[in-house]
Structure 1
């Protein structure tokens, strides 16, 4: 399936759209190492960001939420990226997988760990926060909740704030996966040609 929403050139944006564009391209996402490009060669937003321009009030709030869960969270970088990759694997989101595998590599995730998450296998993590993030992200994507035992284990490793931020992260990346399917033409795994 091809993209349904044409990529919007920066010069064609109205004032409200331009504000969202600047928040995405000039914010925290752009400040760090660029392991995946936010724009194409003409400056048009890639992936889920282009659709955020359709509704500047909602798109602006959504991009701010994404920046908060990536750059303002207490979650360790590797734990955060592992959780994002669990969501990407669950939804079959190639864009998010490719982008966040690149970020994960820059955070020290190994190819074996990335492959295990991509294939839905336990990645054999030694760090309790990383194990907790993967456990919680898998359960949240699979069942939409945490059993009492898992809740205790995850809060022991991440704290209640960390779990709150992790549940928000899982919901945010699930939202992006849906928007990528609807607007960018990303097919779910069961509909891809084999």
Structure 2
């Protein structure tokens, strides 16, 4: 049971309404809908409802998420693989629920998705994807001096480049923030959603 009430469209003040419209009318609302942004009453699902409780910060946070999903040069397979790494690191059912279908649509196979869910090596054949998976795991894990040392950074930079590392680290931080908020406010899956498989 969520610690936050679900806010219906008719309950929103002007700031909340502007945020609601940015979420439901922005890039997340176009193209195939692989998970529902709203419930049947029009209330936002997942982390988006929580954003309504602090609309100014929520607007910036949703804009960052939109930029990560739609304005980086991260290939869709890499982006969705990295989100699933964070979902595993934080044991976040909502991120699994929302992003496993997106990962399949991006071309990740069921065995690769299962390995990511279990925290195992997905055995990615592409060297850049493998480097991105390794970097996402290191970034999502609790920081340890030997994980982000100079040798690690040099190898990651050589494989991915600074721009991709910036985009990837921003993605990991954003989805870790959402996972933290989902946990803090005890936000579960939409009532109509099936429980995601666990490792």
TM more than 0.5: yes
Contact persistence 1:112–1:123 (CA under 8 A): yes
Aligned to 2:154: 152
Q: CA RMSD in A?
A: 1.2
Aligned to 1:15: 14
In 2: Cα distance, 1:32 partner to 1:132 partner: 29
Write the deviation string for residues 58-92 of structure 1: whole angstroms up to 9, x where unpaired: 00000000011111111111001000100000000
In 1: Cα distance, 2:167 partner to 2:89 partner: 19
In 2: Cα distance, 1:91 partner to 1:136 partner: 16
Write the deviation string for residues 9-59 of structure 1: whole angstroms up to 9, x where unpaired: 011111100111111111111112111111111110000000000111100
Contact persistence 1:80–1:133 (CA under 8 A): no
In 2: Cα distance, 1:65 partner to 1:135 partner: 23
In 2: Cα distance, 1:91 partner to 1:16 partner: 30
In structure 2, stretches of 5+ residues that fail to align are 189-199
In 1: Cα distance, 2:41 partner to 2:72 partner: 32
Give the superposition deviation at 1:128: 2.0
Number of corresponding residues: 185
Matches within 5 A, 1:22-171: 22-144=21-143, 146-171=148-173
Contact persistence 2:47–2:187 (CA under 8 A): no
Contact persistence 1:53–1:59 (CA under 8 A): yes
Q: Normalization by structure 1: what TM-score?
A: 0.91
In 2: Cα distance, 1:102 partner to 1:159 partner: 28
Aligned to 2:196: none
Q: Normalization by structure 2: what TM-score?
A: 0.89
In structure 1, stretches of 5+ residues that fail to align are 187-194
